[in-house]
Structure 1
Amino acid sequence: MTSGRDRLVDSLYSVVENPDHLGVLFENLSGYCQFSAPSKDAKMAGTPSRTIKRVLENLKIHFDRASSLMDLAGRGVEGMTHEPSMASVEIDLLVGADGRVVSANTDATAQLALRAGDRIFALNAEAGDLARLRVKLRSMSGCRRDEILMAVPAYDCFGKRCLLAFTPVQIADGPLCARVSKIELDWSAVAGGAISRTFGLTDIELGILRAICQGHTLADHARERNRSLATVRTQAKLLFEKTGAHSQVELVRMFAAFSQKSTAGPIDFVPPRSAQTCSRRTMIDLPDGRTAQVDMAGSPHGTPVLFLHGVLSGTGIPEQMDLYLKQTGIRLIAPLRPGFGQSTNVGCEPNLFAETYVSDIAAILDRLSIDEVRVLGHRTGAAYAIACAEFLPSRVSRVFIVSATLPHSSATAVHDNPSWQSMFAQTALYAPSALTVLAKGAAQLAHAQRLDRVLTGLYGGAEVDADTIVRPEIFRTLEYGFHAAFAQGTLGYERDLRVAVGDWCDGHFLEASNDVTFIHGSCDPVTSPDLIRQLCSSGGHLDLTCVQGAGQLLLYQHTPLVLDIVGGRSLH
């Protein structure tokens, strides 16, 4: 049976090859780490943090490598698009020592025409290779568990050339079997050179990598090079150490990722035509020489309301929302944070970033000749709304927070969260290297026009939200925000999320003099209304308006209600 660690590493490199597999990575990461919310019990305080860090410590190198691979794919490697590609195909096939198929999933059956009980020797492969495979399977009890038993060139049901790698695995309470991985490949000199430069491989180590990727065993390579098997194994060990690969299968998976066709060049903030917003974009110069993108909507001369966007929901404004803003006389001002859209990024640690952003906001208000504003924080924008109240008390008349995402360390019940929301937040707290890969995977999906998968993973936890994201105008609005989040890469997103899950609602927050109104959906699957009520009970200046039947996309589900409250037209 494949271990949780092996499944996690396999799915990690699978995402590098194909971002469509991001959901599988989320599942395997969650299952392997057994994430749970931090306990308020003093005896348990910090336990999840230590557990998560411990179980991920020996995988950090894989997350770092995967991140580097994604960067290579994003920038493109000259000539790689003309090289043969190599990709691992998802099949689950176990074979016993006698060559009988123990188990086969539907993909294995569809691609190799093998079912449980069939003989593996029915493969469309050379007779000599099948004869050697028979011998290898019978003797696999003496083989190492981290080494490919044999790689057999074969043809699948579609007549496509592939390589079937057999690796010994021990089934729990069962016999020793060989797990079969199907790999479509050919050696890519460009990809090999890229790996060699990235990991500092010697020519000897690169030769071993090529042999493994072409389906040769270490023994085959030793005979071909007229070296002892012990010498080749020692050289292979150095190859594994340099690349961080745990086994030959992982090494092949890594090479497959390098061999993928490159995507377009650096990400620019040019959202696809399908992404739409009714906001008007303007660029404002900041005192330190940076530039801030500020999106505006509603009445140009109306009551100013500062809109602080969520980490992914963005500043996009649907048409109906823009019309209602104009009808109610609200001028919505939405400054994108550094690193989002076209706002110049800033080198700043997460614990100092909120104050830096508030300084930018003060400069923007000065340029717009606005003395006082109401602040509307949306989702993770809640942290910055509170920061505005703390650092700009004389300019903020009131704070409104819609669908607040509270810090995981103090409130959010992870086990009740949609898995993607939970995993992003937990990795932001405890495993930043993992967060980088998750963010880059999500960004790749968006730029591959597969944003629907990401939105379903993020917002599909409640039926009301799932129904909302399929509305064309809402999908286009979220698409605009998503592309703004990753316009300059993922660093801005990663920092923003780390701010959002920090302890921003502790300390000065409870002592703030500004009135704060939470507007929250009763069906929000990320932050329970009960947690908001508990928070509001700790301060007389805090109150909650709970909207029955609304989810985390409350702003788009009950736009008139939210804007009436913010604009002072409703006593809520």
Structure 2
Amino acid sequence: MPDREIDLEIVSASWQSLTDTEGYDRMMEAWDRKLAHAARSPGLLDRILSRQLHAIDDLLSSDMDIKVEDPIEAAVRETPAPAMVLSPDGRVITTGGGGEHWFGVKQGALAGTEWLRDDSRGNYDAVRRTAGGRGNAAYAIVRTVSENGAEQLAEVYALTVRGHDRGYTVVRSLELEWYPEVSANLSQAFGLTDAETEICKLLFRLRETPLIADERGAQAETVRTQLKRIYAKVEVGSKVDLVRMLGLLCARAALNRETRSMHYADPLGRETILHRADRRRLAYTWCGAEHGAPILFVHGEIPYFALPESTRAMLRARGLKLICLSMPGHGNSDPDPSREQIDDGVAAIAEFCDRLGLRGFGAFASYSGQFPLTRTAARHPHLFSGVMVLGFPWNLCETRFKAMPLAQRTLAGLARRAPVAFELVIRLALRRMLEEGPDFYLSRAFDGTPIDLAAIHDPEMQAPLRSGCRHLANQGHHAFVREQLMVAHNHLPDWFGDIECPVHYLLPPDLGRFRREDYEALKALGPTVTVEQVPDAGELLPYQRPELFVERLADLTGEAPGRVFAARDSGVAAA
């Protein structure tokens, strides 16, 4: 296909990808052809194509509506009231409308039943059984109890998602929450005093004048007088009209709180924010034994922070503390836009270890996280006693790059040869993920590994994976862009020769059709490198082989991790 025809296909599909997935996939196929054709001719983007892509970029920068098509996200976004979606084992998949505060839960964590009144437990459990395929009670009204003892009504219903093994449970409050914006709007629009806005808030919650008076420690007649002044200011004729108007203001405030990004909250509930020397935030959390042997985890695109309770129990039993650092630009850690991601990451790791007094301990990295972690090990020879890495770097050898699935190969090629076009493609991908949900990203990120594709459709995996997607997209598309550009333009051989501690690679043998030359390329990085193939696992190894994962982490804390790793080396014959 001539260059201009490919360009027209790219432009056409890019416009279509603003509204549907078919257009996005057509665009990726066209870019793949463009990259293959451009390998035989100079230049990738001319002025005509650049101008067309710039127009799409401008539109993305405008205030375009986001139409949520993901049924799980839609369940919480189509109502302004507090809501949450639970997996079959009761883990919080997502929340909306202030659901975390309202129900006292966290995304990715178990919801428990503390928020549920005891006599509603039977109806709630019946709906959950139906969602799991073992009942026929698809809907119920229950009563919830807040921390201060206030009771509210909520609906509970079963949600079936096409392609997922089992159903989900949706819990949505039938009440609206009062946000600070409502008080501010009443004050600005109608000139209400602080005392009058507080009366409005209590009226919305309690409805009855005597109850408001009791709450404020005032006479009922005083409250009635204040209400009359409020009626006059906001120009309503009765308490019913005022409550109706307050409900509309609360609904508007809740809807306005919906963002164009995927808000991340630590599912472990332990996130700590450090402030770096330049005052930027650096977030971390941990799991396992609080006073156990420390192991630093440096993530790639998707973090494995939200480990199942059974895995966390194994860590506690082995006396291991997995310290999970959010890299700059990810989660709630601030990036330095003036620095490359790898330099920002190395500085963050070194400063973090110094602040926590960590030295001579083990570290683990997944996929692109291996770049900043191993470079840190090279620059600070005595910081780590051993390093373990999950995942093969696609830029280590050309045969590996060519063997990647189409979507991954195309993104990698654009990152290497056309970073401006690459960023536009990622912005389009984020839009599709916001509309269609994390499955859009996950199905493409794990394309080519059937064991991982099967895992992402397991409802129990949705909680940790969606939490990981929020961690990646919490600050928009920039984290993914910086991560991929880091891999595209940095090469492990440039610094591996300076690493003194043992480096052990865990590689699923079916991941991208692992070859003999792949094994040899890893071994050639340095004499301290060992390679272990792990069957029955993919990129989601910590979830698929939890016992092995914990055992390998324990190896890092031993007296001679290099000797243990050498004994586990699969050898070239196995490749």
TM interval, shorter chain, is 0.5 to 0.7
Across the two proteins, how many residue pairs are aligned to each other?
A: 369
Is the CA contact 2:371–2:492 (under 8 Å) kept in the aligned structure 1? Answer: yes
Give 1:546 deviation, angstroms. Answer: 0.8
Structure 2 residue 356 is the aligned partner of structure 1 residue 368? yes
- Aligned twin of 2:103: none
- Aligned twin of 2:49: 59
- Aligned twin of 2:164: none
Change in CA separation of 1:397 and 1:498 when aligned onto 2, cut-off 3 Å: same
Give 1:304 deviation, angstroms. Answer: 0.9
Is the CA contact 1:521–1:547 (under 8 Å) kept in the aligned structure 2? Answer: yes
Give 1:73 deviation, angstroms. Answer: 3.7
Alpha-carbon separation, structure 2, partners of 1:489 and 1:283: 20
Alignment partner of 2:473 out of 486, 496, 508: 486
Percent identical pairs in the alignment equals 20
Q: Secondary structure at the match of 1:297?
A: strand
Give 1:55 deviation, angstroms. Answer: 5.4
Give 1:501 deviation, angstroms. Answer: 2.4
Change in CA separation of 1:264 and 1:66 when aligned onto 2, cut-off 3 Å: farther
Query: Can you give the 5+ residue segments of structure 1 that lack an aligned partner in the other structure?
Result: 36-46, 77-261
Is the CA contact 1:23–1:457 (under 8 Å) kept in the aligned structure 2? Answer: no
- Aligned twin of 1:565: 552
Change in CA separation of 1:364 and 1:539 when aligned onto 2, cut-off 3 Å: closer
One-letter identity of the residue aligned with 2:314: Y
Alignment partner of 2:446 out of 456, 459, 462: 459
Structure 2 residue 17 is the aligned partner of structure 1 residue 15? yes
Deviations 1:468-526 (A, max 9, x none): 22222323222212122121122232112111223331222134212110010100128
Q: Secondary structure at the match of 1:413?
A: helix
Is the CA contact 1:402–1:520 (under 8 Å) kept in the aligned structure 2? Answer: yes
Q: Secondary structure at the match of 1:54?
A: coil
Structure 2 residue 272 is the aligned partner of structure 1 residue 270? no
Alpha-carbon separation, structure 2, partners of 1:386 and 1:564: 21
- Aligned twin of 1:82: none
Alpha-carbon separation, structure 2, partners of 1:34 and 1:339: 32
Is the CA contact 2:14–2:27 (under 8 Å) kept in the aligned structure 1? Answer: yes
Is the CA contact 1:404–1:527 (under 8 Å) kept in the aligned structure 2? Answer: no
Alignment partner of 2:459 out of 472, 477, 480: 472
Structure 2 residue 392 is the aligned partner of structure 1 residue 390? no
Alpha-carbon separation, structure 2, partners of 1:325 and 1:277: 17
Deviations 1:373-419 (A, max 9, x none): 211110111112211211222211111101232326x4453332111
Give 1:318 deviation, angstroms. Answer: 3.5
Is the CA contact 2:266–2:285 (under 8 Å) kept in the aligned structure 1? Answer: no
Change in CA separation of 1:28 and 1:264 when aligned onto 2, cut-off 3 Å: farther
One-letter identity of the residue aligned with 2:355: R
Alpha-carbon separation, structure 2, partners of 1:530 and 1:361: 31
Q: Secondary structure at the match of 1:448?
A: helix
Is the CA contact 1:297–1:332 (under 8 Å) kept in the aligned structure 2? Answer: yes
Structure 2 residue 294 is the aligned partner of structure 1 residue 294? no
Give 1:56 deviation, angstroms. Answer: 6.1
Alpha-carbon separation, structure 2, partners of 1:437 and 1:14: 14
Give 1:528 deviation, angstroms. Answer: 5.0
Give 1:61 deviation, angstroms. Answer: 2.5
Alpha-carbon separation, structure 2, partners of 1:491 and 1:437: 11
Change in CA separation of 1:74 and 1:519 when aligned onto 2, cut-off 3 Å: farther
Alpha-carbon separation, structure 1, partners of 2:284 and 2:36: 41
- Aligned twin of 2:150: none
Is the CA contact 1:311–1:380 (under 8 Å) kept in the aligned structure 2? Answer: yes
Give 1:13 deviation, angstroms. Answer: 0.9
Query: Can you give the 5+ residue segments of structure 2 that lack an aligned partner in the other structure?
Result: 67-254, 559-563, 569-575
Alpha-carbon separation, structure 2, partners of 1:529 and 1:263: 54
Aligned pairs (5 A) from 1:90-489: 267=260, 270-271=263-264, 277-278=267-268, 280-313=270-303, 315-350=305-340, 353-407=341-395, 410-411=397-398, 413-489=400-476
- Aligned twin of 2:505: 518
Change in CA separation of 1:364 and 1:414 when aligned onto 2, cut-off 3 Å: closer
Instruction: Normalising by structure 1, report the TM-score.
Output: 0.59
Is the CA contact 1:30–1:423 (under 8 Å) kept in the aligned structure 2? Answer: yes
Alpha-carbon separation, structure 2, partners of 1:343 and 1:563: 26
Alpha-carbon separation, structure 2, partners of 1:430 and 1:362: 31
User: Which stretch shifts more, 448-457 or 429-438?
Assistant: 448-457
Is the CA contact 1:277–1:318 (under 8 Å) kept in the aligned structure 2? Answer: no
Change in CA separation of 1:346 and 1:373 when aligned onto 2, cut-off 3 Å: same
Give 1:267 deviation, angstroms. Answer: 4.1
Deviations 1:357-381 (A, max 9, x none): 2222222223333233211110111
One-letter identity of the residue aligned with 1:12: S
Q: Secondary structure at the match of 1:489?
A: coil
- Aligned twin of 2:91: none
Instruction: Normalising by structure 2, report the TM-score.
Output: 0.59
Q: Secondary structure at the match of 1:16?
A: coil
Alpha-carbon separation, structure 1, partners of 2:406 and 2:257: 30
Alpha-carbon separation, structure 2, partners of 1:264 and 1:449: 19
Q: Secondary structure at the match of 2:51?
A: helix
Give 1:29 deviation, angstroms. Answer: 1.6
Alignment partner of 1:30 out of 25, 29, 32: 32
Give 1:19 deviation, angstroms. Answer: 5.2
Alpha-carbon separation, structure 2, partners of 1:534 and 1:445: 36
Structure 2 residue 494 is the aligned partner of structure 1 residue 507? yes
Is the CA contact 2:449–2:511 (under 8 Å) kept in the aligned structure 1? Answer: yes
Alpha-carbon separation, structure 2, partners of 1:391 and 1:505: 13
Change in CA separation of 1:383 and 1:6 when aligned onto 2, cut-off 3 Å: same
Is the CA contact 1:339–1:492 (under 8 Å) kept in the aligned structure 2? Answer: yes
Alpha-carbon separation, structure 1, partners of 2:22 and 2:261: 22
Change in CA separation of 1:62 and 1:328 when aligned onto 2, cut-off 3 Å: farther
Give 1:452 deviation, angstroms. Answer: 1.4
Deviations 1:198-245 (A, max 9, x none): xxxxxxxxxxxxxxxxxxxxxxxxxxxxxxxxxxxxxxxxxxxxxxxx
One-letter identity of the residue aligned with 1:364: F
Change in CA separation of 1:515 and 1:402 when aligned onto 2, cut-off 3 Å: same
Change in CA separation of 1:64 and 1:302 when aligned onto 2, cut-off 3 Å: farther
Give 1:75 deviation, angstroms. Answer: 8.4
One-letter identity of the residue aligned with 1:474: M
Alpha-carbon separation, structure 2, partners of 1:519 and 1:287: 35
Is the CA contact 1:314–1:482 (under 8 Å) kept in the aligned structure 2? Answer: no
Change in CA separation of 1:339 and 1:276 when aligned onto 2, cut-off 3 Å: closer
One-letter identity of the residue aligned with 2:263: V
Q: Secondary structure at the match of 2:294?
A: strand
Alpha-carbon separation, structure 2, partners of 1:65 and 1:316: 39
Is the CA contact 2:394–2:401 (under 8 Å) kept in the aligned structure 1? Answer: no
Give 1:6 deviation, angstroms. Answer: 2.0
Deviations 1:285-344 (A, max 9, x none): 111111111121221111111111112446443433323222222211121122111111
Alpha-carbon separation, structure 2, partners of 1:30 and 1:6: 14
